[in-house]
Structure 1
Amino acid sequence: MINQKIVFLGAGAMAEAIVRGLVDKAVIAPTQLYMKNHSDHVRLQTLHERYGVQIASDADIVSADIVVLAMKPKDVATVLQTHTLSPHTAVLSVLAGVSMATIEKYAGERPIARLMPNTSATIGLSASGATFNRAVSPSLQQDFIQLFEAIGTVEIVTEQQMHAVTALSGSGPAYFYYFLECYEKAGVALGLDAETARRLMLSTMAGAAEMLKRTGEDPAVLRENITSPQGTTFEALEVLRKYDVARIIEESTQANADRSKTFEKLYD
């Protein structure tokens, strides 16, 4: 169990997802978790009653071992300029598009970690990317990783690669929801009712993902294993190739990453 005092600045859905994971997995005692937001005290009281976390005062922020930036990205400068952080306090940011340089600009040089989770964090199944600055010691990095793994899996990347993480896993759930919508409509067009089509494709997606995890096979190999020459799967894949779906996916994720870089400049 981590013995650190952690203060969340921001109490929205992502902050709650992280807190839920930490408490449910007994990574840290609820008495060591503090939360503060700008004005919604009812929300803070609800989280206190739900998870046993503490409502933070300004003094708690000063004495924190780790401060988690979980406010709206546009508010980062105001919040960091309003609250004084102790020189020993490390910062964990879950803010999309806010660079370490921007955090250092307002919080000074200190250990900083950035985490890019996705919305599946709310059920403990996020696929997250994380990066650290040079001030993060090996022992602190391990503490951070324990925190990250409370909401799912984590991949350590460079800060520049965080744009790619945003484009893939950060926004990834939306892509799969969109694919499911499309396949559900296709199933209805083929004569199924919407609920049946959704159940079939949802189980298919989950099963395919689990197959990849259990076998460790390359996805191309598994695809080829179920694609008989001139068979039904072959015909469907030929249509996807005809419309160059691979290029569409590449261009859409590039657009996502480019937008992420734009946000980074906006908040600097």
Structure 2
Amino acid sequence: MNSTHQASLGSICFYGAGSMAEAIVRGLIHKSVAAPKQISMLNRSNQERLTYLTQQYGVLTGNSEQDKNKYLTEASIIVLAMKPKDAKEALTELGPKLQEGQLIVSLIAGISISTLQQLLGTNAPIARSMPNTSSSIGLGATGLSFSEETTDDHVQQVLSMFQSVGIVSVIPEEQMDILTGVSGSGPAYIYYMIEAMIEAGIEGGLTPDQARNLTVQTVLGAASMMLETGEDPAKLRKDITSPNGSTQAALEVLADKDFTNTVKAAVHRCKERSFEMGQAVKEAL
């Protein structure tokens, strides 16, 4: 990514320094979309965590009131990366500090743009996002929705941020909870299946390294096959399922356990939980 993208982003303050914030910071730096000196990260009290982030990425960090005031007021973009339960206190405090022209990017699951503006006490321009942790290696999938206060420049800044770490889907805000269920939390479902396949391989006599490498390559190959061929996953599955063969036997076990409906139920429960978390914050106002 060239320097014009870096200049257009200005300074970015991550208000919250957890795993998702780190994933995006790692991706931004790795793809040269933002230099470490452009990025600051804040948390409430975990100095050990901030020290690690500074040493690992070279970003600015702080947790004192002085640091918080400096980084938040000077940032062009403020990324809300705190947990939903901490949002009310943090955003109520942040509102009076906002400067004209500052853009808010929210990573907080479940909390709507209108609720964010209510907590901030102002109709600030807001981009609501739902990335996933694969952003840290440039293979993320992020959903974005924008408030009516955002300008074309704001939209381009946010697209630049998240396109640098993966693909982006701009969606109506009412679809954000289902997107959370599909791609926001989706990597965890895949890892869960990978864990089970590795365990089965070890139980069958493979070494842990063999089971891991074979499973990871299998998942990578399957995903790449879909991307490169454009084929429907059902067709690709049928192509390798011979009648009365070993693959069919395995799939019958999954079907007997209601695999499809179980996965769908997990996605929809994630959607529901995302909505519930947002409602809890809204009702506490």
What TM-score do you get using the length of structure 1 for normalisation? 0.90
Question: 216, 234, 257: which is aligned to 2:230?
Answer: 216
Give the alignment of 1:1-268 within 5 angstroms.
Answer: 1-3=5-7, 4-55=10-61, 56-83=67-94, 84-107=97-120, 108-268=122-282
Match of 1:167, SS? helix
Residue identity in the other structure for 1:92: V
Cα offset, 1:188, TM superposition: 3.9
Larger deviation: 213-222 or 236-245?
A: 236-245
Determine the C-alpha separation between the residues in 2 that align with 1:6 and 1:97: 23
Give the match's secondary structure for 2:188: helix
- Identity over aligned pairs, percent: 42
Contact 1:62/1:86 (CA < 8 Å) preserved in 2?
A: yes
Quote the offset at 1:49 in angstroms.
Answer: 4.2
Secondary structure of 1:166's partner?
Answer: helix
Equivalent residues of 2:109, 2:130 under 8 A apart: yes
Deviations 1:52-87 (A, max 9, x none): 333444144223221111122222221222231113
Change (3 A) 1:57 1:235: closer
Give the deviation of 1:133 after TM superposition. 1.5
Across the aligned residues of Structure 1 and Structure 2, the Cα RMSD in angstroms comes to 2.1
Structure 1 residues 201 and 264, CA gap change in structure 2 (3 angstroms) = same
Which residue identity lines up with residue 58 of structure 1 in the other structure?
A: N
| Cα distance per residue 1:164-191 (max 9 Å; x no partner) | 1211112112211211222233334444
Q: CA deviation at 1:256?
A: 1.4
Give the conservation status (yes or no) of the 8 Å contact 2:84–2:278: no
* Distance in 2, Cα, partners of 1:230 & 1:177: 29
Secondary structure, in 3 states, of the residue corresponding to 1:2? helix
1:128 aligned partner, one-letter code: T
Closer/same/farther in 2, CA of residues 28 and 181 from structure 1, 3 Å limit: closer
Residue deviations 1:1-23, cap 9 Å, x none?
23222222122222222222222
* SS in structure 2 at match of 1:80: helix
Aligned CA distance change for structure 1 residues 133 and 219 (closer, same or farther; 3 Å): same
**5+ long unaligned stretches in structure 1:** none
CA distance, structure 2, for counterparts of residue 141 and residue 39 of structure 1: 32
Question: Does the CA-based 8 Å contact 1:97-1:261 persist in structure 2?
Answer: yes
Pairwise CA distance, 1:142:
1.5
Partner SS for 2:33: coil
> 2:49, 2:203 → 1: CA distance?
44
Match of 1:150, as an amino acid?
S
* 1:61–1:189 CA distance, 2 compared to 1 (3 A): closer
8 Å CA contact retained: 1:70, 1:94? yes
Gaps of at least 5 residues in structure 2 are 62-66
Distance 1:161 1:64 in 2: 29
Pair 1:29–1:188, CA change in 2 (3 A):
closer
Say which SS state the counterpart of residue 161 (structure 1) adopts: helix
Q: Which amino acid aligns with 2:12?
A: I
Q: In structure 1, what is the Cα distance between the partners aligned to 2:277 and 2:26?
A: 28
Shift in CA distance, 240/51, structure 1 to aligned 2, threshold 3 Å: closer
Q: State TM-score, norm by structure 2.
A: 0.85
> 1:7–1:61: 8 Å Cα contact kept in structure 2?
yes
Cα displacement (A) at 1:105: 0.6
